[in-house]
Structure 1
Amino acid sequence: MNSDHDQLYDESRDQRPFANGTEGYGWFAANCETCIHDRPARHGDEGNGCPLIVLALVGRTPAQWLDGPRDENGRYSIASQYTCTEYRHEDDGPADPRPIPTPPGQGELFARDGFEGHRMLTAVPESDAARA
């Protein structure tokens, strides 16, 4: 994960990610409690915890947190309010293997150099998805 706090701050949205502490700590418990990036903080090394949590605690929404699923009335569950693009389960290890192997039977259109470590997941607004 990018550890440059200034860059993460600049990329973040100037809005509170959670309505209250119950919502925030509920989301942290459902997501951050098993993420490799916050493992040091859970083991007493708070200075090396996830910088995205720090952003949320100072009232900014990290760009890495994409809006989770909503029902037809815009409601969501606390646990799935956001999807963190940096989430890695602590049992999966610190990172994806390098270089990322090409799956068997999959062709490659272009070299993957320079794209490894980036997730290309983007949320499609419902209005755009309906037009497609």
Structure 2
Amino acid sequence: MKILVGYVPTPEGEAALEAAAAEAVRRSATIVLVNTSRGDAYVDDRYANQAELDTAEANLRERGLEVTIRHGVGGGDVATELLNAAVEENVDLIIIGLRRRTPVGKLILGSTAQRILLESPIPVLAVKA
């Protein structure tokens, strides 16, 4: 079994990483950690630097988990990047972190998490920080 975790270096991303680790231990699964950016990585604070990825990977490996990291500037939509990675990696579960948003914010601004939840052909576990 494979679990894809959409990781960003935020409390929401850490919650997703923790949930992925727990599920991977429970299900004897491997983890595919994906961190991507819409465009310029230098201005996107959700784009993890190498030290953040190393820490996340070490956290997973300390639990005896096998992890693959997909990290890069896709230049496209983050939801599409994650969904494509899930299909390419043949994963069984996607885990993402959710951030708190106001009802108006949900209406006006598109949500990456909402798109993943609605468009994914694979089960999605969404967690809060």
Q: Is the shorter-chain TM-score for this pair beyond 0.5, marking a shared fold?
A: no
The structure with the largest alpha-carbon Rg is 1
More helix by share: 2
